[in-house]
Structure 1
Amino acid sequence: MSKQSGRGRVAGLPEWDRCAVMGVVNVTPDSFSDGGRWFDTAAAVKHGLALVEEGADLVDVGGESTRPGATRVDEAEELRRVIPVVRGLASEGVTVSVDTMRACVAEQALAAGARLVNDVSGGLADPAMIPVVAHAGAPFVVMHWRGFLEGGNVRGVYADVVAEVIDELHARVDAVLAGGISPDRVVVDPGLGFSKDAEHDLVLLSHLDRLLGLGHPLLVAASRKRFLGRVLAGPGGAPPPARERDAATAAVSALAAHAGAWAVRVHEVRATADAVRVARAVEGARTDSARAADNGAEGAR
C-alpha cells in the first residue's frame, strides 16, 4: 500500500489527493499563538476566508484555549464565540471543523454547518460528546489526552512514548467505536504538546508510520508548538516567539505529508500549503518512476 493510498479518506468530508491543510481560527483572547487577534466574529470569519484563499482545505474554529495553564471558559461563552463564526464560514462554502470538548458546542456547531468535530480530549472531557457525534453521523478527531493542563504538563511521563500513545489512542478509538461513531469517520491525533515534552513530540514525529498502524487517518497538529521553539533555540538558547515558528511548522508539515498524514493543522497556511503540495509531487514522481521501472522489467521478459 502506498503512502498516498494509506492516507485514507474521512467519510463525510471532501477527498483530497494529498495531505490536507487545516487552518486554525482561534476565537479566544488567550491562545498561546494568536490570542485576541480574531476574537471579534467578523474578524474571525474574515480570517478564516483568508486562510482558504491561502490554501486551507478546511478551517478549525475554536473558542477555548488549551494551552498549559489556561482557565476554561463556561459553555455559554464558548457558544457565543464559536457558533456565529462557524455559521459565517459555512455559509461561504468553507469546510468547517469545530475544536471543542463540549457536546453542546459540538451539537450546535454541527447544526450551524460544521462538518467535523475536533475534540482534544477524544470524548473524555464530556461523556455526552460521543453520543452527540454518533447521532449526527459526523467525523470525529480522537486526540491522545491525559487530562486538563491547568496544572501544567499533566502526567507527561513515559517509558516508551510511542507505544504508550498508541495503546492509549487504541483504547480511546475502541470506546468511540463502541459509542456508535462509524470507523470511517474516525481520525486520530497523537496530541503533540499535550502532556508531552519536546523529546516526546520529536520521537512521535519520527514514528508516524506506527501511528498510521492504528488504521485511521492521522491528523498532525504541530503548529508553533513549544517543541519547535526548543529545536530552533538550540542548547541554552531562548525559544523564538510562537509566530516566528512558521517555517519550522512548514518543515514538519512536509515530513508529516511524506509520512502519510491525512491532514496537518496550522496557523499560517501558505507555507504549509506549498510544503504538502511539494511532498505530493515527490510522491507522484516516485510512483511514476517505480511504474516505469516495472513496465521496463515486464517488457524485457
Structure 2
Amino acid sequence: MGRWHRLAEPMGLLYGDAAVAAVRQGMALWLMGGAVAFSFVRLIEGAQVSAPLPVGDVPADWQSVLGRLVAPVPDAGLPAGAQVMGILNATPDSFSDGGQHDTREAAVRAGRAMAEAGCRVLDIGGESTRPGSVVITPAQEWERVGPVIKGLRQEVPQVALSVDTRNSLVMERALEAGVAVINDVTALQHDARALPLLAEHDCGIVLMHMRGTPQTMEQYAVYSDVACEVVRELGARVEAAEAAGIARKRLMVDPGFGFAKTAAQNVELLRRCLLLANLGCRVVFALSRKRMIGDMTGEATPAARDAGTQAASLQAMPLGQPVLRVHDVPGMVQALRVWQALYAAKA
C-alpha cells in the first residue's frame, strides 16, 4: 500500500478561542492549515487502529504522517477559502434536475442566479452519472455543455467554471473554452488520453472515488473499512496523476458519496471524512440531494433534500478549503456563512 498503509485520523476538534489556546499550549494542531484544530489522533496501520492519542504523544516515527494533516491545502485553481460549487446539469436525465437546464439560455440564466447568490464556482455536466444512466458519446456530451460554457464565460466571467466529464474530447474543448477545472467521476481512469492531456495544462482537477462504472458500481460496494479504503484508493489515483506529470497542488479529491457505496457505508464515510486530510489535497463534497440524504431523512423527493444536504455538507468545513457542490446555492451559502460566523475566525 506504500505511503497510504499508514493513516492518521484527526479527532477532538476545537474551534475559536479554545483552538487558539490549545495550539499555543502545544495541545492541538491546526488541521490542513485552516481555522479548526485537532487535539487527538488515531493511528491506523493496515487494519490496525490505535486508541485516540493526544497529538503531543504521537511517536516520532509517525510524525511525517501527522504532518500530512497539518500542511495547508493548495487552492487547486479555484478561489481561496471554502467555496460553494453550483451544479448545472445540461442533461435530460439527471436524477434531480434533468431537463431544467438543457438549453443554453436556461443554463446561463441559472448560472447567473447562482453567481448572484454568492457562488464563485459552477460545475457544468452533460452526461448523467446516476446509477443505471444511459451512456452518450463524447460528441453528444460536448453539444450539450459547449454552448453553456461559452455563454457563462460571457455572462459571468468572474465565476470559475468546472466541467463534469470523463471524456478527453470534452476536457480538451472545455479547456480551450476557458474552463478552470476538470471534474472526473472516474479519477482519470475512463479515458486513456485524459492523464497525458491534463499533464499538458495547468487546470485544477477533481479525482472522485468510484469502483466500476455508473452502470456497474453497485456490485462493487464491498469494503472492510470504507473510510480507510476510499482514502487509500484515492491516494493511488493521486500518485497516478503525479506520475503522469500533474502537480499535486492542482489536485482535489472527492470521496464519491453514493458511488459504489451502500447507505450504511455512505454514513460511515461521512462520519469519518476527516481521514481525507491524509491526502493533502483540497476536498470536494458532492452530497447534494443524493439518495443517502433521503435514506437519513426519510425524504423520497430529491428536490426536497436541500436542508439535509446542507447539514451533511458542513461536515467538510474543518478540511481546510472545502468545495461544497450543491444544487441549492442560496441555501448552502447561508449555511456556510453561519458556520463561518460561529467557528472560522482565529482569535
Does the alignment pair 1:33 with 2:96? yes
Confirm or deny that 1:88 pairs with 2:151. yes
Gaps of 5+ in 1: 234-238, 289-301
CA contact (8 A) 2:217 2:259 kept: no
Q: Does 1:103 align with 2:163?
A: no
Cα distance in structure 2, aligned partners of 1:4 and 1:146: 27
Quick one: which of 132, 141, 156 aligns to 2:197?
132
Report what 2:265 is aligned to.
Answer: 200
Distance (Å, rounded) in 2 between the aligned partners of 1:259 and 1:156 = 25
Unaligned runs of 5+ in 2: 1-28, 35-71
The structure whose residues are more often strand, as a share, is: 2
Amino acid of the structure 2 residue aligned with 1:24: I
Instruction: Report the Cα offset of residue 48 of structure 1.
Output: 1.0
Once residues 273 and 193 of structure 2 are traced to their aligned partners in structure 1, the CA distance between those partners, rounded to angstroms, is 30
> SS of the residue aligned with 2:189?
coil
Cα separation, partners in 2 of 1:280 and 1:8, compared to 1, 3 Å: farther
Residue 230 of structure 2: SS of its match in structure 1? helix
Query: Are 1:271 and 2:331 counterparts?
Result: yes
Show the counterpart of 2:300.
Answer: 240
C-alpha distance after superposition, 1:85-130 (max 9, x if no partner): 1111122312100000001101100111110000000000101111
How far apart, CA to CA, are the structure 2 residues paired with 1:156 and 1:142? Answer: 18
Output one character per residue of 1:65-89: Cα deviation in whole Å (capped at 9) or x when no partner.
0000001111111010011111111
Deviation at 1:8, TM superposition (A): 2.2
SS at 2:163 equivalent: strand
Which residue in 1 is equivalent to 2:63?
none
Q: Determine helix, strand or coil for the equivalent of 1:136.
A: coil
Conserved? CA contact 2:126–2:165, under 8 Å: yes
Query: What is the match of residue 79 of structure 1?
Result: 142
Is residue 273 of structure 2 the alignment partner of residue 213 of structure 1? Answer: no
Select which of 226, 230, 238 maps to 1:173: 238
What RMSD, in angstroms, separates the aligned Cα atoms of the two structures? Answer: 1.5
DSSP 3-state at the match of 1:213: helix
Q: Is the 8 A contact 1:220 1:261 kept in 2?
A: no
> SS of the residue aligned with 1:86?
helix
Shift of 1:14: 2.3
Q: Which amino acid aligns with 2:169?
A: C
- Alpha-carbon deviation of 1:133? 1.3
Say which SS state the counterpart of residue 282 (structure 1) adopts. Answer: helix
Moved more, 274-283 or 34-43: 274-283
| Correspondence for 2:67 | none
Aligned residues of 1:24 and 1:59 also touching (Cα < 8 A) = yes
Cα distance in structure 2, aligned partners of 1:3 and 1:56: 25
Residues matched between the structures, number: 280
Distance 1:210 1:279 in 2: 21
Q: Per-residue deviation at 1:53?
A: 1.1
Please give the alpha-carbon distance, in whole angstroms, between the structure 1 residues aligned to 2:32 and 2:225.
28
Structure 2: distance between partners of 1:284 and 1:149: 37
Identity %: 41
Per-residue deviation, residues 39-86 of structure 1 (Å, max 9, x unmatched): 011111111111111121200000000000001111111010011111
**Which residue number in structure 2 is paired with residue 295 of structure 1?**
none
Structure 2 match to 1:44:
107
> Runs in 1 of length 4+ with deviation above 6 angstroms?
none
Distance 1:135 1:247 in 2: 40
When normalised by structure 1's length, the TM-score is 0.89
Amino acid at match of 2:310: A
- Indicate which of 226, 251, 254 corresponds to 2:311: 251
Q: How does 1:173-192 map to 2 (within 5 A)?
A: 173-192=238-257
Partner of 2:33: 5
Q: Distance in 2 between matches of 1:211 and 1:12?
A: 19
Please say if residues 142 and 172 of structure 1, whose CA atoms lie closer than 8 Å, have aligned partners that are also in contact: yes
| Residue pairs, 1:133-172, within 5 angstroms | 133-151=198-216, 153-172=218-237
